Structure 1
Amino acid sequence: MVVPRTEARWAWLLSNGGEPRNWMLLLAPLLGWHAEGWAGIGWGVVASVFTAVLPTLILRLGEHRQYWGDRHVCRRQDRIVAAPGVMASVITGTALLYRFDAPVEVRALVTAMLTVLLALLVITFFWKVSVHSAVASGALTILTTVFGPWLLVLAPLVVLIGCSRIRLRRHTAAQVGVGFLIGAAVGSPVFDLVR
């Protein structure tokens, strides 16, 4: 049973604030700026539209039509139903960024996150894994690659996001731990390879 919103407010705050779309809304423009200044921010916004905004709209539409319970798509089977729409958006955005020669760091980011999503989707056919944790740890490893190890100061935040998912009974510790591993072990090497 999921913890009501009237309880564990810190966990709800961390869970909602640390959801995957928010990482992409922040990270894509930031990496665009790092690569090409103001023009790069524009490319980052384009990446955010396809990796955060459109997937959120797809998930909300599915929630509204009762294809799944909420925007976090808690049931493993529902995630398989939701995945094609979200993946189509991310794949389309990735293709456009490559086609129109977006900054390499932005392309590397969306390629890394697409690879993480594909790995999570494969696992989801058999077991539920934390997308929150995977995206948060992938984002952290990419941030440290680009801006340096001093950004490891954000590691406690990433851990707290995982703890919030456990506290809200959305995931087990194992599901959060595997999410952390997938995000870091898949996202960072793909980012480095493309970059």
Structure 2
Amino acid sequence: MYKLGLVQKLNIEDRTDRFLPQIISCLIYSFVTWFFYSKVSQVPTLYLVMASMTLCMVIVTVTNFFWKISAHSTAMGGLVSFVLFCTYFYSEETLFPFLGFTILSAGLVMCSRLYLQVHTLAQVCAGFMVGLIAGLGVLSNIF
């Protein structure tokens, strides 16, 4: 897209340059979610994880029309919600260290976005909350 002149910079810092890549991502996520739902419906966790990822991507894309939100933080919030859900749903105490590692990793990713000065604290926190809430919201409807 950079070579075609569709985005101004390779790292897509500008909020307006993100529209086309994010819309393409939403379409791909939607297709993969539909595919998992129609072909692999015996494993509801699989397509529900994809559905939560699609929902997060749509929320980030729509929000991006008005405000720059951290997609990295959104992804980490989604990952934390998945591990938290698995820990609770399967009552696996063995997942607690992995949950701690996931939360620590999320903190490091969010700190790196702040350190690189590509997002504000509000953008990073909002992104994490979008991922966490959307992930838990979709996954909690399994049973």
Question: What percent of counterpart residues are identical?
Answer: 23
Select the residue among 9, 34, 52 that pairs with 1:95. Answer: 34
- Tell me the distance in 2 between the aligned counterparts of 1:79 and 1:107: 26
Deviation >4 Å, runs of 4+: none
**Structure whose residues are more often helix by fraction:** 1
Letter in 2 for 1:143: V
Unaligned runs of 5+ in 2: 89-94
Q: 1:66 to 1:168 in 2, by over 3 A?
A: farther
Question: How many residue pairs get matched?
Answer: 133
Counterpart residue number, 1:83: 22
Deviation at 1:183, TM superposition (A): 0.7
Q: What is the DSSP-based 3-state SS (H/G/I as helix, E as strand, rest coil) of the residue aligned with 1:146?
A: helix
Deviation, structure 1 residue 194: 4.1
Tell me if structure 1 keeps the 8 A contact 2:25–2:57. Answer: no
Q: 1:164 aligns with which of 98, 102, 112?
A: 112
Amino acid aligned to 2:100: V
- For 2:50 and 2:73, how far apart are their aligned partners in 1? 17
Matches within 5 A, 1:25-174: 62-68=1-7, 69-70=9-10, 72-102=11-41, 103-148=43-88, 150=96, 151-154=98-101, 155-174=103-122
Structure 1 residues without counterparts, runs of 5 or longer: 1-61
Cα distance in 1 between the residues matched to 2:139 and 2:12: 27
Q: Distance in 1 between matches of 2:17 and 2:135?
A: 24
Q: What is the one-letter code of the residue matched to 1:173?
A: L
1:152 deviation in Å? 2.9
- Structure-to-structure mapping, 1:8-19, within 5 angstroms: none
**TM-score, structure 2 normalization:** 0.84
One-letter amino acid of the structure 1 residue matched with residue 13 of structure 2: C
User: Whole-Å Cα distance in 2 between the matches of residues 74 and 191 of structure 1?
Assistant: 31
- If the length of structure 1 is used for normalisation, what is the TM-score? 0.63
